Amino acid sequence: MKVAADTETIYLDNNATTRTAPEVIEAMMPFFGNRYGNPSSIHSFGGTVRRLVERAREQVAALIGASAGEIVFTSCGSESDNMAIKGFYREHGGKTRIITSAVEHPAVRNTARFLRDGRGVPLTELPVDGEGMISPSALDSLEIAPGTLASMMWANNETGVIFPIREMAEAVKARGGTFHTDAVQAAGKVRINVKEVPADMLAISGHKLHAPKGIGAAYFRAGTPVAPLIHGGHQEGGARAGTENVPYIIGLGRACELALGRMEEENTRVRALRDRLERELLAKCAGAKLNGHPENRLPNTTNISFGGIEGEAVLLHLDDAGIAASSGSACTTGSLEPSHVMMAMGIPYTYAHSSTRFSLSIYNNDLDVDRVVSAMPGIVDKLRRLSPFV
């Protein structure tokens, strides 16, 4: 019998989206009611809201070690990525050259390919090794100049693998290039400090760190020229026109404040839960194999393949057991092809097709892990008996 999608569901798909924290909802609620002023208005009713929007900007900036004036509020991580990459192109035109990795999120991958195919921008997609890792030395043989934009994700959304962002950013900057990073999965889970990592641009998404969907932020280091995607009014310092989404901005600020205070828990208790889940699934499930670097990963993420069976079938059986997981990026759900991340890592087809991502949060506990460990071996055994590949 299928378990309803309610509080009984074991939710292990936090890299797709997270539960909005109760504290975030509480912070947002007044701005749906009597605090409805427009922050651009000159009167005090709107001015009070403006001050709170700027406080939220400071909270977001604090999460990544930035200055408040370097933060632009957007609708999501995808918009932040597009704003950075397309904005860079509009500033540099025919001089633009883009370098990314082969495992980027579609928000970066497809945007870079759009500029390649539609605007003739030279694009290099650097390969990763079998553990999903990239070496800074991969940049050594490439032409990097002031018109070059390197966009490398801080952490992979499917495997959780963390790239050597500081080293890559330093290598690009030393040769006059510009560095952008999609930090959507990393923000709130691992320490980010743009005073130490010379990234020029960075993307954050609220719904990956317990804020609601529909709000994000882009970081632009002071002095980085980027043309806006949306023209109109003066909002966001002229970087993004449109009346500010005040309730969601307030929510994102509160979520970033909470994430900063909970990072130790992410890297201790949540990591321990992830490690136990991973260890027991690898030991108890036939044909199980870890995808990604064994150590250099986000503390909440494990990606495991179960050789010879279909990942979609695994997810459907887990869903019947009241367990929510994923086969990869939520932005590519519906595709029958194996993940481009698994393919770039050289994972054999029969393993790539069964890759299953479990991504935890601070709201998970030992009982959740017990349920998954109890259910998963039987699911794998059943599907392997039915598989034409086994």
Those residues with Cβ within 8 angstroms of residue 327's Cβ, 6 or more apart along the chain or in another chain: 311, 312, 314, 315, 333, 339, 355, 356, 357
- What gap in Å lies between CA 88 and CA 102, rounded to an integer? 20
φ, ψ at 126 (rounded to 5°)? -75, 135
Task: Describe the strand order of the beta sheet including 97-101 as a list of residue ranges.
Answer: 71-74, 216-220, 201-205, 178-182, 148-151, 97-101, 123-126
Distance (Å, whole) CA 317 – CA 378? 10
Q: Is 131 exposed, middle or buried (0-12, 13-18, 19+ CB in 10 A)?
A: middle
Q: Of 76, 256, 285, 331, which residue is the catalytic one?
A: 331
Residue 331 designated active-site: yes
Going by C-alpha positions, the residue among 302, 311, 306, 303 that lies closest to residue 285 is 306
Q: Which residues pair with 357 in a beta bridge?
A: 303, 326
Query: Alpha carbon of 287 to those of 12, 132, 380, 383: distances in Å?
Result: 21, 20, 9, 12
Pairing between strand 301-306 and 288-290?
antiparallel
Active site residues: 331
